[in-house]
Amino acid sequence: MCILGVNLYGHPQAQTYWHTHVNKIMLEEGFEPVTGWECVYVHREKKLFVSVYVDDFKLAGLKKNLRPMIKVLSAKIDLGDAMPLHGDVYLGCKQENIAPPLELLKQKSDLYNMIVKDDIPDPDTLWLGHAEDIKAWQYDMTGHVKQTVERCCELAKVKVSTLKDVSTPSLDDHLIPQEDFEKPGILADESAKIVLKALWPARIGRPEILWAVNTLARNVTKWTKADDKRLLRLISYMWHTKHHVQVCYVGDKLED
């Protein structure tokens, strides 16, 4: 037995030592973990957020404080060259700046006014907000979704060209014969590989498939023929919606 002096990749305690190391530095530099999201740190004085995923760091906040903080953290952590978020791929997700989606903003504003203010909006009135104060961007998981479906088809020995265009990621269980819930599925041995790969885009940028993916994830140790059919429905939906993106926007002042 010997003391671990260097964080060896693959060592059982490597991730613990790395987290302890990074967390110590973040606290020393004035950051604090966001409650419930301990991999995200906030610096209230500098108005900065940092997302830490192993050795991938994502920094956002008040523009004038970005470069100085990168320099400070780089002095203590061996970080690579900083890349702009626009057009870059972070954890398999491509982020691109876009124009504020005014039509979507109006829909959400109208819904808020109807629920909170009991106000019936005029459908002919354009959104009255200040678009110039809004930053908008999109998260694109097209590449990862495409890889997920192709890998699934490879393991299932199914041609991508045979996947039907469906409107939802889930199959109504009432349409599945009862006996299919009792028979072992063909993909029982490969289910974990497929479902885990689908879980990543679901978590990062495709929330509409989360329920379907989580349902399958609960069954990887008791996979049935019904799960084969559920999975086919999911990957069919993912294939025909692979270009769908998640649109995000923020226009609030930093102090809010």
Across the chain, which has 256 residues, the per-10-residue mean pLDDT values are: 67 82 94 91 94 89 93 90 87 89 82 77 64 86 94 91 95 93 93 92 93 96 96 96 92 68
Give the integer Cα–Cα distance in Å for 230 and 71. 49
The answer to the question of residue 200 being in a domain is: yes
Residue 50 and residue 143 in one domain: no
The answer to the question of residue 176 being in a domain is: yes
Q: Between the CA atoms of 154, 156, 161 and 167, what dihedral angle is there, to the nearest 10 degrees?
A: -120
The answer to the question of residue 92 being in a domain is: yes
Domain boundary among 51, 82, 113: 82
> What is the DSSP code (8-state) at residue 224?
B
| CA angle (31 as vertex; 29, 35 as ends), nearest 5 | 160
Which tokens hold the place of 218?
């609960």
pLDDT value at residue 111: 83
3-state secondary structure of 29: coil
Confirm if 13 and 4 have CB atoms less than 8 A apart.
yes
CA atoms within 13 Å, Cβ hemisphere of 35: 0
Specify which residues 93 forms β-bridges with. 90
Domain boundary among 30, 58, 82: 82
Give the integer Cα–Cα distance in Å for 92 and 141. 7
The answer to the question of residue 158 being in a domain is: yes
Give the integer Cα–Cα distance in Å for 230 and 125. 43
Residue 105 and residue 89 in one domain: yes
pLDDT value at residue 4: 63
- Name the domain count of the chain: 2
Residue 77 and residue 88 in one domain: no
Residue 204 and residue 242 in one domain: yes
Residue 40 and residue 104 in one domain: no
Residue 141 and residue 162 in one domain: yes
Q: Which amino acid is at 186?
A: I
Give the integer Cα–Cα distance in Å for 97 and 239. 24
Which tokens hold the place of 157?
């020995």
Burial class of residue 213, CB neighbours in 10 A (0-12, 13-18, 19+): buried
The answer to the question of residue 6 being in a domain is: no
Neighbouring CB atoms inside 10 A of 69's CB total 19
pLDDT value at residue 250: 84
Residue 78 and residue 93 in one domain: no
Residue 236 and residue 117 in one domain: yes
Confirm if 72 and 29 have CB atoms less than 8 A apart.
yes
Residue 174 and residue 220 in one domain: yes
Domain containing residue 69: 14-82
Confirm if 42 and 31 have CB atoms less than 8 A apart.
yes
Give the integer Cα–Cα distance in Å for 123 and 250. 23
- Non-local CB neighbours of 57 within 8 Å, separated by 6+ positions: 50, 51, 73, 77, 79
Give the integer Cα–Cα distance in Å for 165 and 70. 45
Residue 162 and residue 46 in one domain: no
The answer to the question of residue 8 being in a domain is: no
The answer to the question of residue 168 being in a domain is: yes
pLDDT value at residue 175: 92
Domain boundary among 34, 56, 82: 82
The answer to the question of residue 100 being in a domain is: yes
Handedness of CA 172, 176, 182, 183 (dihedral sign): negative
Residue 65 and residue 153 in one domain: no
